[in-house]
C-alpha cells in the first residue's frame, strides 16, 4: 500500500489506472478506523482492481464548537489497518491541499438536509457533499462505499451523484455493531464505561419501535413518543437531539408508516453525540 498526500498525484494515478482498464473503488473516511470502516474496505476489495481509502478530517462539515480539534486521529495506526485489509492506496491530504484559503465552490443538496442531522447541524451536509464531490474528482472511482449508520449522508450523496450525473456507483453498507448492539463509531472512544453500558439501549429502543410497527402501529407520533419515553426511562442523563420517522430516500418526515420508513435518532450521552437508525418498514 502506498500513502499519497497530494491530490494531483492521486488524480494522475487514478486516471492512468482507468486508461489501463482497471477498476477503482473509493472508501471515503475521516480515519480512526474501526471494524465498520474495515468492512467497507473488505466489501469493495472483492469488486475492483484498486482500492483507494481516503483519510481526511474535513473541517467544512464541522460547526464551530463541534469536535473537529479533538477528532481522534492516528495515521500510522490507520495505515497499518488499511494495508492489512488490502487497500492499495491511502490518500491522506493536508487541509491546505484540499481547500484553498479562498475556497468558494460548494455542492449542496438542501432538500434532503432539512431534517435529522441537517436540522441540528445546518452547515454539515454542505461540507460533506463538497468534500465528497472533490474526493470523487480526485480519486476518479468507479464505485464508492458509505456506511448506512449515516443514512441521511448516504441518501444525500446518492442524490448528488444522480443530479450531477457523476459516473460513480454509490454503495451503502449495513451498520456494523458491537455484540451489544452499539453501532460502531470513531466517536465511541469518547464514551465513559457507564455510557458504553447504556449506549446499546439506543438500538434496543429502535427495535422495540419496529416490533410495534410489525404488530400494526402506524402513527409516527405514537412511535416516536414511545421511543422518547423509552430513552428517558432507560438511559438516564441522555438528551435526545432528534427521533424522527422519515422516507428513506427523500428524508421527509412521515406521519404514517405505510410504505418504506426509517426511524433515525441522535442522542447525546455525556459529551458524545451518537446516531443510529433502523428501517422499520421495508
Residues classed as catalytic: 37
Q: Kindly tell me which of 33 and 231 has the beta carbon lying closer to ligand PAF.
A: 33
Residue 121 φ/ψ, nearest 5 degrees = -130, 75
- Binding span for ligand PAF by CB under 6 A among 27-35, 78-86, 190-198, 268-276: 27-35
What is the spatial distance between Cα 134 and Cα 190, in angstroms, rounded to a whole number? 29
Contact indicator for 257, 182 with CB cutoff of 8 Å? no
Q: Kindly tell me which of 154 and 278 has the beta carbon lying closer to ligand PAF.
A: 154
What is the spatial distance between Cα 255 and Cα 269, in angstroms, rounded to a whole number? 28
List the beta bridge partners of residue 239.
268
The least distance separating ligand PAF from the CB of residue 9, rounded to whole angstroms, comes to 20
Asked if residue 58 binds ligand PAF (CB under 6 A), the reply is: yes
- State the virtual CA torsion across 36, 40, 43, 48 in degrees, nearest 10: -160
**Residues in CB range of 125: below 8 A, 6 or more apart:** 61, 108, 109, 112, 113, 117, 118, 152, 153, 156
Q: Kindly tell me which of 29 and 224 has the beta carbon lying closer to ligand PAF.
A: 29
Asked if residue 200 binds ligand PAF (CB under 6 A), the reply is: no
Q: Kindly tell me which of 126 and 142 has the beta carbon lying closer to ligand PAF.
A: 126
Asked if residue 150 binds ligand PAF (CB under 6 A), the reply is: yes
Q: What is the number of residues in the chain?
A: 282
Helix and strand tally (H, E) in the chain? 10, 9
Asked if residue 148 binds ligand PAF (CB under 6 A), the reply is: no
One residue of 82, 107, 109, 131 binding ligand PAF per CB under 6 A: 131
Asked if residue 60 binds ligand PAF (CB under 6 A), the reply is: no
Asked if residue 30 binds ligand PAF (CB under 6 A), the reply is: yes
225: number of Cβ within 10 Å: 12
Asked if residue 139 binds ligand PAF (CB under 6 A), the reply is: no
Q: Kindly tell me which of 73 and 256 has the beta carbon lying closer to ligand PAF.
A: 73
- The grid coordinates of residue 114 equal 432539512
One residue of 29, 130, 152, 224 binding ligand PAF per CB under 6 A: 29
Binding residues (CB under 6 A) for ligand PAF: these are 28-30, 58, 61, 128, 131-132, 150, 153
Amino acid at each position: 500500500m502506498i500513502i499519497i498526500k497530494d491530490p494531483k498525484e492521486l488524480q494522475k494515478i487514478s486516471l492512468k489506472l482507468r486508461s489501463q482498464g482497471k477498476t477503482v473503488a473509493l472508501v471515503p473516511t475521516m480515519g480512526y478506523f474501526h471494524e465498520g470502516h474495515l468492512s467497507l474496505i473488505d466489501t469493495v476489495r472483492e469488486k475492483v482492481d484498486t482500492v483507494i481509502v481516503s483519510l481526511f478530517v474535513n473541517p467544512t462539515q464541522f460547526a464551530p464548537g463541534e469536535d473537529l480539534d479533538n477528532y481522534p486521529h492516528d495515521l500510522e495506526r490507520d495505515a497499518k489497518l488499511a494495508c492489512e485489509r488490502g487497500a492499495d492506496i491511502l490518500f491522506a491530504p493536508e487541509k491546505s491541499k484540499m481547500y484553498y484559503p479562498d475556497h468558494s465552490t460548494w455542492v449542496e443538496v438542501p432538500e434532503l438536509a432539512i431534517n435529522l442531522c441537517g436540522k441540528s447541524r445546518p452547515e454539515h451536509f454542505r461540507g460533506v457533499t463538497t468534500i465528497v464531490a472533490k474526493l470523487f474528482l480526485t480519486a476518479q472511482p468507479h464505485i464508492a462505499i458509505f456506511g448506512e449508520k449515516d443514512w441521511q449522508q448516504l441518501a444525500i450523496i446518492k442524490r448528488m451523484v444522480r443530479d450531477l450525473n457523476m459516473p460513480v456507483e454509490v454503495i451503502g453498507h449495513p451498520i456494523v455493531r458491537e455484540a451489544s448492539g452499539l453501532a460502531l463509531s470513531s466517536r465511541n472512544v469518547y464514551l465513559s464505561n457507564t455510557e458504553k453500558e447504556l449506549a446499546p439501549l439506543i438500538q434496543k429502543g429502535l427495535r422495540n419501535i419496529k416490533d410495534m410497527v410489525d404488530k400494526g402501529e402506524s402513527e409516527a407520533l405514537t412511535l416516536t413518543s414511545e421511543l422518547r419515553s423509552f430513552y428517558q426511562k432507560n438511559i438516564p442523563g441522555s438528551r435526545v437531539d432528534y427521533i424522527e420517522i422519515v422516507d428513506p430516500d427523500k428524508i421527509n418526515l412521515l406521519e404514517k408508516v405505510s410504505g418504506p420508513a426509517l426511524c433515525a435518532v441522535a442522542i447525546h450521552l455525556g459529551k458524545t453525540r451518537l446516531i443510529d437508525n433502523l428501517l422499520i418498514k421495508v
